[in-house]
Copies of this chain bind each other. A is one copy, B any other.
Amino acid sequence: MNTHFSVATHILAFLQLQPGKSVSSETLAVSINTNPGFVRRLLSQLRSAGITTSTMGTNGGTSLARPGEDITLLDVYKATGASGQIFTPHTEPNAACPVGKNILGALQPRFDAAELELQDSLAKTTIADIAEDIRVSVRAERAKAAAGQA
């Protein structure tokens, strides 16, 4: 899989931690350490999925379309188009062989079932959860730094 899902989650966690603000693709690109074009391509997918909203023009940018509590990792996963592509079946088994002709039919239901389990797991975490984890980590770092200085 490409990094789209991971980067999209990064974007959304960032937005969740800037509540109400409109964030530019340039700002997001700096945090991700990539280029604004790549960010905008991902935002295009998130916007199509109804997860974010963008405003154009001066002071434009992107913000969450709904509370982070209502955006699961599964929503993001599906929005980034990774859904159903975890297992890559081999494309052209020999149909003249009984195994070649039937192997994909036998495998696909198992692939689908496994991916559904994975999706169920992703649905249990929200963008708010991720953002909260980040908040906790930041607080822990601050406390450690303060203790070091004391």
Q: A86-B86, A117-B117 are in contact. Are A10 and B138 (CB under 8 A)?
A: no
Within 8 A of B (CB), among A54-87: 73, 86-87
Point out which of A30, A32, A99, A100 has the most chain B C-beta atoms below 10 A from its C-beta: A99
Assess the B33–A107 pair: CB atoms within 8 A. Answer: no
Residue numbers in B under 8 Å from A118 (CB-CB): 86, 114-115, 117-118, 121
> What's the minimum C-beta distance from A30 to chain B, rounded to whole angstroms?
6
> What's the minimum C-beta distance from A14 to chain B, rounded to whole angstroms?
5
Q: Looking at chain A, what size class is its interface with the partner chain?
A: 35 or more
Contact of A10 among B1, B100, B120, B130 (CB under 8 A): B100
State whether the Cβ of A149 lies closer than 8 Å to any Cβ in chain B. Answer: no
The complex is assembled from copies of this chain, and their number is 2
Assess the B87–A33 pair: CB atoms within 8 A. Answer: no
4 extra interface residue pairs, beta carbon distance < 8 Å, beyond A30-B94, A34-B90, A114-B118:
A6-B87, A73-B110, A115-B118, A118-B118
Write the residues of chain A forming the contact surface with B, with a CB cutoff of 8 angstroms.
1-3, 5-7, 9-10, 13-14, 17, 30-34, 73, 86-94, 97-107, 110, 113-122, 125, 130, 133-134, 137-138
